[in-house]
């Protein structure tokens, strides 16, 4: 799947180097990277034909807030949020990293692909779990469940910790696991105070290649947003069913409902989202931001 970058009207000095499901990446003449969060939304490995207004601004504001909260745990790749006017509020200048080829997933609750793996083998990524857990059950402790980083349009595959060690080496694999679990547990405590369950999340890390972070593990991309995490209202949490959420599960649920008329196994692209679903998704993203940060989105 080829993703066309959003036309932001940036000056020619910003060279487009890559577009992912949500972000467009540009290189500056002095070697910095400009990460721009679009309003695109993806589900089931498809970039949907609809956009969610302000989504890129919400993701950027939330990531910046979380980067600050995690500063004492791991450095991050943000250099500055003082960006060109054309992408103000939805972009950051970031340092170039040598990225690790692994999605670092932490789980405290059973959901998504973790639930599917558990139902098939009573384990996730080789981590054995007790019997009797249900959809939405709290796990005995936080677990590290890594996945491969798939190309756009392909599906990330859960892998074992041994496979990660084989891929990047034992020492760095252990560091990634330790940082991932510590950052997740710290974020869980913050979210809990705000009445939100952080069920799971995905981090991406790279190795600093110059400057003050040279040789260090650095947190990159986005962090703890509704795109990369599952946020559930704590007051409505009830294991044994799909949980109400502040994330894009709302979009996934509509796509797999009879209302969409789409079969996710058909190989055909998903339909456009109805305006009502677009508006409700935007409202959920804003609610997640405001509840977690205590700030008003505008």
What would the pLDDT profile of 8-32 be if each residue is shown by its tens digit? 999 999 999 999 999 999 999 988 9
Task: Share the mean pLDDT of the chain.
Answer: 95
Which distant-in-sequence residues (6+ apart) come within 8 Å of 288 by Cβ? 62, 196, 226, 231, 246, 247
Query: Quick one: the chain helix, strand, coil %, rounded to 5?
Result: 30, 25, 40
Q: What's the 3-state SS for 63-104?
A: HHHHHHHCCCCCCECEEECCCCHHHCCCEEEECCEEECCEEE
Question: Given pLDDT bands bounded at 50, 70 and 90, which one contains residue 121?
Answer: very high
The angle formed by the CA atoms of residues 154, 152 and 275, to the nearest 5 degrees, is 100
CA dist., res. 49 & res. 213, Å (int): 38
Considering the chain, tell me which residue range(s) the CATH 3.30.200.20 domain(s) occupy: 15-96
pLDDT of residue 152: 56
- pLDDT (tens digit per residue) in 133-167: 999 999 999 999 999 876 655 667 899 999 999 99
Question: Given pLDDT bands bounded at 50, 70 and 90, which one contains residue 263?
Answer: very high
CA dist., res. 93 & res. 10, Å (int): 14
- Residue keyed to tokens 């040789």: 215
Domain 98-258: homologous superfamily in CATH: ATP-grasp fold, B domain (3.30.470.20)
Minimum mean pLDDT range among 71-85, 122-136, 154-168, 175-189: 154-168
Considering the chain, tell me which residue range(s) the CATH 3.30.470.20 domain(s) occupy: 98-258
Q: Kind of pairing, strands 97-99 and 138-144?
A: unpaired
Residue 46 phi/psi, 5° resolution?
-115, 145
Return the sign of the alpha-carbon dihedral for residues 246, 116, 138, 159: negative
What strand order describes the sheet that includes 33-37?
15-19, 23-27, 33-37, 91-94, 78-80
Which distant-in-sequence residues (6+ apart) come within 8 Å of 23 by Cβ? 35, 36, 37, 38, 221, 222
> What is the third-level CATH fold of 15-96?
Phosphorylase Kinase; domain 1 (3.30.200)
């Amino acid at each position: 799947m080829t993703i066309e970058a959003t036309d932001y009207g940036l000056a020619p000095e910003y060279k487009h180097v890559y577009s992912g499901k949500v972000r467009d990446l540009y290189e500056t003449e002095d070697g910095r990277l400009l990460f721009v969060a679009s309003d695109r939304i993806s589900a089931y490995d498809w970039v949907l034909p609809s956009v969610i207004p302000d989504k890129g601004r919400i993701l950027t504001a939330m990531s910046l807030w979380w980067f600050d909260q995690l500063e004492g745990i791991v450095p991050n790749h943000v250099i500055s949020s003082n960006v060109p006017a054309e992408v103000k509020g939805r972009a950051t200048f970031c340092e170039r990293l040598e990225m690790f080829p692994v999605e670092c997933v932490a789980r405290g609750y059973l959901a998504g692909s973790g639930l599917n793996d558990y139902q098939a083998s009573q384990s996730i990524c080789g981590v054995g779990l007790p019997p009797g857990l249900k959809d939405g059950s709290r796990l005995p402790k936080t677990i590290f469940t890594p996945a491969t980083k798939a190309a756009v349009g392909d599906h990330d595959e859960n892998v074992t910790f041994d496979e990660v060690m084989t891929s990047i080496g034992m020492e760095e694999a252990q560091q990634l696991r330790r940082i991932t679990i510590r950052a997740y547990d710290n974020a869980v405590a913050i979210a809990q105070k705000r009445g939100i369950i952080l069920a799971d999340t995905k981090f991406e890390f790279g190795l600093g290649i110059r400057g003050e972070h040279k040789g260090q593990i650095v947190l990159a991309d986005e962090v703890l947003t509704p795109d990369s995490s599952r946020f559930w209202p704590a007051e409505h949490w009830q294991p044994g069913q799909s949980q109400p959420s502040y994330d894009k599960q709302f979009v996934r649920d509509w796509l797999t409902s009879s209302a969409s008329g789409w079969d996710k196994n058909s190989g055909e692209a998903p339909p456009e989202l109805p305006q009502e679903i677009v508006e409700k998704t935007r409202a959920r993203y804003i609610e997640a931001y405001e509840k977690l940060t205590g700030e008003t989105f505008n």
